[in-house]
Chain A
Amino acid sequence: KQEVTQIPAALSVPEGENLVLNCSFTDSAIYNLQWFRQDPGKGLTSLLLIQSSQREQTSGRLNASLDKSSGRSTLYIAASQPGDSATYLCAVRDSSYKLIFGSGTRLLVRP
């Protein structure tokens, strides 16, 4: 059974720092991995989607990597800003088409 774990559960950093969020999954037979952002009381915003054949994806200050063999993904945020404060969710897609989510990392970027 696929399980997705995100570490740390919460993170507080000063503005301007570069930071890394971690996601691990137990079954490497995934089709893609997706990082989402969720603001309090809001829906999900898709940040990056990495297909299983890809190693990384970049969008602006965000870079996500995928290592299927070791069951890991990282989301790198460069030059963090207070507006980056949110919960970041990692999800993997398995052969049944469902997304399996981690519990998220709550990020606070202090001005």
Chain B
Amino acid sequence: NAGVMQNPRHLVRRRGQEARLRCSPMKGHSHVYWYRQLPEEGLKFMVYLQKENIIDESGMPKERFSAEFPKEGPSILRIQQVVRGDSAAYFCASSSARGIYNEQFFGPGTRLTVL
């Protein structure tokens, strides 16, 4: 049973370009969470999605960032017109259900570098 998969593992973009980060949850999991880790900091919650629904996006920056989790395929975190401050590690986690006791399992992360 493969774990949470993220790709690419490393992504380099120039300022103004778009970044697309993909997350495939564990088999049987329908809940996805995205977190961002800035250098030397802990992880910060960004967004929580179920298939075709955004449940909680309270941690998402108001502009340039969007996320989706379509009926088929991986969850996508999209950053438009990237700036240097977007350089960070982006982690995806998945869980099997919405219940408060359901553990989140983390992927290896995508490290975004903006030149």
Residues of B76-110 whose CB lies within 8 A of A: 91, 93, 98, 100-101, 103-109
**19 residue pairs from A and B, CB less than 8 Å apart:** A4-B42, A32-B101, A34-B103, A42-B109, A43-B107, A43-B108, A44-B43, A46-B106, A91-B43, A95-B100, A97-B33, A97-B56, A97-B100, A98-B33, A98-B45, A98-B48, A98-B56, A102-B42, A104-B42
Number of residues in B with C-beta < 8 Å to the partner? 26
**Nearest A residue (CB) for B56:** A96
> In this assembly, does A41 line the interface, its C-beta being within 8 Å of a C-beta of chain B?
yes
> Chain A residues in contact with chain B, CB under 8 A?
4, 31-32, 34, 36, 41-44, 46, 49, 51, 89, 91, 93, 95-104
**Nearest A residue (CB) for B40:** A103
In the docked arrangement, what's the CA distance between A42 and B108, Å? Answer: 6
Most buried by B among A4, A51, A101: A101
Please tell me which one of the listed residues A31, A46, A89 contacts residue B101 in the complex, with CB atoms under 8 A apart. Answer: A31
